[in-house]
Structure 1
């Protein structure tokens, strides 16, 4: 159905007229504090915060962490840390109570009490109750004002299946409770005069991601099955109680899967005729108009209308930040007027098609509301097919004005405890106080109402300015269907290539007579990935001779040519991304997301080292009168690259790329468990035009081939990543001066860690639990950066441990090719047996709170958590390299730091805290090469987070950092006296 609008100027006149009516019909005092009902402890504080961006940020950060603080002195201390800094404009009395008293003093505690009451009042402004009883009272008040409601249960982050089932059960219990109560309330006009159909008196809003803790667009089929089963329970309860179920929309990555789940379910015979259900469109998304068109086409096929809630969108900052970090296209409009314009376009589309869908216009922008209502009258939209929706505590006066104009208004009413509701509260505060907020602008006494009600004028789209500096290769977005299809195609293709032979090779000579050893799939040891032709000491000698000969010419190859070789490798990696991801999935059981990220890291190493070598090649000139001085670098010679199996592509390729671009030649001895990937690395360099002999592929046993190369007198440098034992042995061997050796060998060694994450009392526990789970059990803990110890402060120890255990219990153990898998097998039988031995002794070192079973065949070990571990216990001191997590209790933050630092390692560490002094102390005292604050400890990115540790974790080098290439070079200074017979060239002199 399509209607031609009336003349645009007439519609605009009607919009202006109706909008003015709404503005005039609203009541309440002016000023932003009136909007917030002056509920803060000081009437002026919020107004001041809006005028001071720094204060605004610090204030909202303080409010964010308040629910975690259990005592007045703690609150007072955090007030000092957040609001006591110089330059913040606070009321004089408050400033004195914060800055000049101890946290346990009476003035400080008085300020803390006021702060707590103020935050609670703010929460009550936007959250209709902490429990059902409080919510019912608030909802009854809405009904008295002739306003309908939709109830939302707060608690956005679901970390375990236990919590997901609790979320579901709360809704199942809530609907009959609401239905029984609202029957006694005085009715409001919810009858469609055309059909005499009574609308649902009870409405709930549900987040589908909260119904399943493992909700993942990468696993659409598995996610859809579980979520639909739980949605069916909700819908059946709604049918029995006469309730309406509306599906909220969340982050962009979940959008397509959410639509798929809901639409597929509603096409089933049991639900195809149900109309009391709704979906959401977010107008700030660039593809939302297409989503609206798709929903209309689906609704036409279905035959029964559903309600579409049209919102502007509440996750703008999150979407922009995520896309920027990943180097993806930003999915949202970055100009507010573009969103408003799109909102109006979708409004028109939905209202024109009111026979197919009912529309809920969810906005506080009077222009948007008036536009929708005018168009609804023009398109003769029946009352049943349109309602206005607003958020509880926001624009109440507009809601009242619309109700007074006999328009149906529904109030989105969240309820729940303050802690799970804090994320929602902060979003509302940000929305209220944003410069572009209609609510904030409407409270400006000097602003002409016609300016508020004018049609949105999007600015012309501007081409983004090129970012200076290094740009990382973006990972793939596996929420996209086309990306998942490409991966599946690659997995099938590579599966057909398994079982080939990969012999050692010296120059053009293939050493086919060497014994071949199978490399197997850790998830299925009966599946051979490839047969590896292991080298021998004799083959290693041939490789060394060729590498030394080639070095003489390769070192003189211009840097630009060497850099271009790396860049050609990078292009191949990008072109073959999915194929290489598949090889990683099969040979080392790396899940697709992590394998894809490893391909990105390999690309970054190539491009970054090429860039850095061009910079280093410029050298440094320091000339004075009569003398020139030039500081530059020379390559060292033959580099022996000994790579690990856990990052079999990125780390060996990165070390090899660094050696080659600096003018060294290289012999690559890949890990025995990942030698097929090693052969792939050499193939990439061959295809990139690397001269024969500059890189040799020499797989073999570490104790034979590896040891021979390390001891060889012509080895100039050894780049190694692996265990501490092997790394220390290499370091010792390279310190020995052998006959024929003409230079001191250099060692680059990264040797793992016993990494800790500290969680303090102020931490966001949702964030901390998910971060620890990812850090400890991602790739089964087989990363040198993995978290193997979590140190939790005593006040939250029991709560954190309980939630952590349930979260880990919810993880699926299985092969990397299964998209539902969260915990993959360990690399081989030795690793499996070693890990199981640690688990067998765990009960003597602590309390085993979780030991998941594991499938077979395959080298599986289920996630294991051991609580109450002593700091000096083997589980807290020794690197296990498996999915085993020790949980330790600390009585204070300084004690937690002492425990974290109490190992010989110093690789990575993490902190979850919202206490500024703790964050600062960790920055100063946490002995790690990479410290991660309020995020997981794994996933370092080239140039952004150069990676490497010290103490017994390594020699202090940083892969992917600005000084890494210096390890492969020797510096030289050339000084020339240019004065002859009393004269010298004069720079810039002209005759």
Structure 2
């Protein structure tokens, strides 16, 4: 998806004029009273805070974290407490003034309260340097001031992180109100040349900037049709109102994953007959994206077809850190340039292309880099571009001096002016502070009076290649992660759609067990049904008998000695080949998972990635373990090494039918054990696909066997069999405990004790404290509780919320959940599908009935017909000992519990029989530290959702009654399938021994 910009050479005829204009502009921006040249004792506190953060990287991180937290803190005591916690870390080197105000021992004391008031005021003052006002009345005052200074405006409404449909409707209405009020005010303005007129041509006096994702809470590149419909329905309303009152609308660009869909929607909407002739609309492009030059070329061609110009706002881009982090975490190619010089160069190329096509596009050059603006001026003056066709833009509070200098030169300047409350504006403030304090920031370098010649020199970018897609694990293991599919990529989305259509043509086939390398006919068959459409047959699966199970066990015993003698590298290479086949068949496998067990495609895709990672990680781990260890002393050699246990029985679950089945199976195989896979009945076809892959990868006959059958008969027989050495199980607590008990019984002729590895679920809690980012917490809880209809062993089923934020959290959680679309999972518009089968649905409904008797029902939604659907169900005012707060339900049922202290919240979280996963949303360092020590779970997730563990990075597994055994995907998982041995040899002969290093 990421493309390198064409190697465009800038026209050298612009350079001389660019240098001349840049010299003129930069001299105007340098004033002797800026914050870097004043005496520190004359500086305001907000200036000092900003200055200190520039000088100390450790302080910069902690200060921004603290600033991010302030809006959630409800008292001076809390502010003082958090300020002290953030500033007291070892990596922070504090200036004396900050050390002084931190010198208190009691957060309720007068010094602490004074410190809180001082720092809060400084941060608020800092924030409102970049925010045009808290309300429309303040914004109008700002606009009046800007107009007096010869500048125009565009207004951006802060807080566009829309997570509910109620918020999306509110966003639309707030913009309608905004343009109505501003347009009414505009009637009192006298039209001015350079602001409202360009060479006598009238311009809209009011402009607002909007973000497409804020018009639909479920905006998703995987669902371009559904997203477009919802967004366009609301955009048409806004565009019609804007036309009615004479306001201009500009569309901002957001994160990279939304870019292509944003452009697609706007190109389709703005070419509709009703809007085709509008020239008061605009689109934003970000030059730090590697494919942005091609996007601009595409827009030019589209506008030629449209026949009427619109504006392109060209910016560098505001999400660099986020984009680089996201691409690394997902093992995707990095979409942004790594070096600022490369971004600057691309910006100049795009500026040239944009201005040289001024008859098709109006240019809005948004930059605080004097050279960038000077180049635009030089091109415009050289080409004698009419004033209507270009303007300069700066951010409110960041480019004041540059804006004034541009106005003085006679250019039209527009100031991008956000407005809103401090709380929703905090993310915007942090982005501005990051820009202002970055070492590469032009503003910072200019304020520090870096030599002018260096500042305005042409950018030179050498070798700014994108980072590779695949990154090695962070554990010393040399395997590379399989990146999840990026469905923002149209080609990949098309392949997924084609694979789903192809798999649907293959429904209804019969799948047979594999025993000793042969597919065998059986007398009994199981119908596997699509839980989204209960009358749709996915396929028929042959069920083995006890006699077949004995044949499989005998075949495994016969193959064991040969497989045991196969080198670790040869076994590992079979796993690597299997991983490659999975990668090739990824979209097909996703489709089978979607149709047989009712997962939406992106979650199925993550499961396939995990299966691939298991193969590659365990392959490398086995090669590491195979080297053994040597402990030699004079006269004695000691070798420590491993050997396989024997026969492994893998009993895999339906909720992760491919990833967990693969992980347990290949772990047993690569360690040299012959393995029998008995999958859950409802996911047997997916296990058959895994079988096909392992056979194609070259697994010898008898070494691996696919044995679907009834758990109470075949499963029990294999667990109790005297020749079974290892049982790897994932499933319910009831079945897991029974396997544990049965495996402990010594059978006649059995000469070993069986090893049981069992993962048996959880009653997982997320704690939300009073300092939490509620936007983040609500989204994370919805994903954790209702992803795959709550049928993950790691799913959140309890949320323990601090009393001060309980009501606010619950209200938003309910609305966010209401915004989910429920239905068949092969529909890209759907976020939540069915539960697995009729038995599961009935069991979950019984728990819901108990919840209604004990607690308050906060949410129950209508559900579609035709499948095993259950509403996402939320209960409030749940007591910690209620049934729905104690028993694992394995469905979309969520209990919300109020806590009066953090200690109480931890006690509630730990008050169950389980210890699998847990989560914490908090910006209080002491709470994070305490939870890390005291939250009794195998996997604790802080400020993120609690599902989706990643091999090697986040090995998965719990304790208490959540299971027994080492963590899957961890460095000691394979050891469970091996027996360690030590061989000691006395190497003395008649009183002498070889001496290492002797000549």
Higher mean alpha-carbon deviation, 919-928 vs 23-32, is at 23-32
CA gap of 1:474–1:39, structure 2 versus 1, over 3 A, is farther
Partner of 1:649: 658
Matched, 1:572 2:576: no
Q: Partners in 2 of 1:902 and 1:232 — Cα distance?
A: 52
Matches within 5 A, 1:555-954: 555-954=564-963
Partner of 2:294: 290
Q: Which runs of 5+ in 2 are unaligned?
A: 1-7
Partner of 2:53: 49
Give the alignment partner of residue 145 of structure 1, picking from 146, 149, 166. 149
Matched, 1:435 2:435: no
Measure how far apart 1:132 and its partner are. 1.2
Q: Partners in 1 of 2:196 and 2:114 — Cα distance?
A: 54
Measure how far apart 1:461 and its partner are. 3.5
SS in 1 for 2:45: coil
Matched, 1:351 2:355: yes
Measure how far apart 1:195 and its partner are. 6.6
Contact 1:518 1:528 in 2 (8 A): yes
Give the alignment partner of residue 11 of structure 1, picking from 14, 26, 50. 14
1:926-948 deviation per Cα after TM superposition (whole angstroms, max 9, x unaligned): 00000000110011111110000
Matched, 1:182 2:190: no
Measure how far apart 1:683 and its partner are. 1.5
Q: Partners in 1 of 2:91 and 2:680 — Cα distance?
A: 56
Measure how far apart 1:30 and its partner are. 4.9
SS in 1 for 2:857: strand
Matches within 5 A, 1:299-698: 299-445=303-449, 447-461=450-464, 469-698=478-707
CA gap of 1:26–1:883, structure 2 versus 1, over 3 A, is same
Matched, 1:168 2:172: yes
SS in 2 for 1:841: helix
Contact 2:334 2:467 in 1 (8 A): no
Measure how far apart 1:497 and its partner are. 1.2
Measure how far apart 1:843 and its partner are. 1.7
CA gap of 1:269–1:508, structure 2 versus 1, over 3 A, is same
Contact 1:32 1:440 in 2 (8 A): no
Q: Partners in 2 of 1:29 and 1:463 — Cα distance?
A: 41
1:350-396 deviation per Cα after TM superposition (whole angstroms, max 9, x unaligned): 11111101000000000000000110111221100000011000020
SS in 1 for 2:102: helix
CA gap of 1:6–1:321, structure 2 versus 1, over 3 A, is closer
Contact 1:101 1:107 in 2 (8 A): no
Contact 2:239 2:249 in 1 (8 A): yes
Q: Partners in 2 of 1:819 and 1:700 — Cα distance?
A: 33
1:700-735 deviation per Cα after TM superposition (whole angstroms, max 9, x unaligned): 111110011111111101000000010011001111
SS in 2 for 1:715: coil
Partner of 1:68: 72
Partner of 1:256: 260
Q: Which runs of 5+ in 1 are unaligned?
A: none
1:619-656 deviation per Cα after TM superposition (whole angstroms, max 9, x unaligned): 01000011000001111111000000011111011111
Q: Partners in 2 of 1:387 and 1:256 — Cα distance?
A: 25
Measure how far apart 1:87 and its partner are. 5.5
Q: Partners in 1 of 2:696 and 2:208 — Cα distance?
A: 59
Matched, 1:206 2:210: yes
Contact 1:781 1:881 in 2 (8 A): yes
Measure how far apart 1:71 and its partner are. 0.2
Matched, 1:83 2:92: no
Q: Partners in 2 of 1:524 and 1:9 — Cα distance?
A: 65
Contact 1:48 1:89 in 2 (8 A): no
Q: Partners in 2 of 1:35 and 1:420 — Cα distance?
A: 32
Q: Partners in 2 of 1:420 and 1:60 — Cα distance?
A: 15
Measure how far apart 1:885 and its partner are. 0.7
CA gap of 1:87–1:659, structure 2 versus 1, over 3 A, is closer
Give the alignment partner of residue 26 of structure 2, picking from 23, 30, 49. 23
Q: Partners in 1 of 2:91 and 2:504 — Cα distance?
A: 63
Q: Partners in 2 of 1:214 and 1:26 — Cα distance?
A: 44
Q: Partners in 2 of 1:811 and 1:234 — Cα distance?
A: 24
Q: Partners in 2 of 1:363 and 1:833 — Cα distance?
A: 60
1:94-134 deviation per Cα after TM superposition (whole angstroms, max 9, x unaligned): 31432433111101110100111111101110001111111
CA gap of 1:624–1:12, structure 2 versus 1, over 3 A, is same
Q: Partners in 1 of 2:960 and 2:195 — Cα distance?
A: 74
Q: How many residues align?
A: 985
Measure how far apart 1:741 and its partner are. 0.7
Measure how far apart 1:470 and its partner are. 3.4
Q: Partners in 2 of 1:494 and 1:693 — Cα distance?
A: 29
Q: Partners in 2 of 1:44 and 1:792 — Cα distance?
A: 37
Measure how far apart 1:546 and its partner are. 1.2
Measure how far apart 1:454 and its partner are. 1.1
Q: Partners in 2 of 1:650 and 1:738 — Cα distance?
A: 32
Contact 1:94 1:111 in 2 (8 A): no
1:758-789 deviation per Cα after TM superposition (whole angstroms, max 9, x unaligned): 11111111111111110000110110000011
SS in 2 for 1:743: coil
CA gap of 1:779–1:566, structure 2 versus 1, over 3 A, is same
Q: Partners in 2 of 1:893 and 1:459 — Cα distance?
A: 52
Contact 2:334 2:466 in 1 (8 A): no
Q: Partners in 2 of 1:27 and 1:983 — Cα distance?
A: 84
Q: Partners in 2 of 1:36 and 1:556 — Cα distance?
A: 77
Give the alignment partner of residue 155 of structure 1, picking from 154, 159, 163. 159
Contact 1:947 1:958 in 2 (8 A): yes
CA gap of 1:219–1:7, structure 2 versus 1, over 3 A, is closer
Could you state the TM-score of these two structures normalised by the residue count of structure 2? 0.97
1:806-847 deviation per Cα after TM superposition (whole angstroms, max 9, x unaligned): 000000001110001011100000111111111122222211
Measure how far apart 1:185 and its partner are. 3.1
Q: Partners in 2 of 1:136 and 1:932 — Cα distance?
A: 44
Q: Alpha carbon RMSD of aligned pairs, Å?
A: 1.8
CA gap of 1:96–1:523, structure 2 versus 1, over 3 A, is same
Measure how far apart 1:18 and its partner are. 1.0
Measure how far apart 1:572 and its partner are. 0.6
Higher mean alpha-carbon deviation, 127-136 vs 893-902, is at 127-136
SS in 1 for 2:107: coil
Contact 1:947 1:961 in 2 (8 A): yes
Q: Partners in 1 of 2:196 and 2:14 — Cα distance?
A: 26
Q: Partners in 1 of 2:835 and 2:367 — Cα distance?
A: 51
Higher mean alpha-carbon deviation, 833-842 vs 288-297, is at 833-842
Q: Partners in 2 of 1:217 and 1:24 — Cα distance?
A: 46
Measure how far apart 1:13 and its partner are. 2.1
Higher mean alpha-carbon deviation, 566-575 vs 39-48, is at 39-48
Q: Partners in 1 of 2:12 and 2:768 — Cα distance?
A: 60
Q: Partners in 2 of 1:35 and 1:392 — Cα distance?
A: 23
Higher mean alpha-carbon deviation, 866-875 vs 32-41, is at 32-41
SS in 2 for 1:25: helix
Partner of 2:5: none
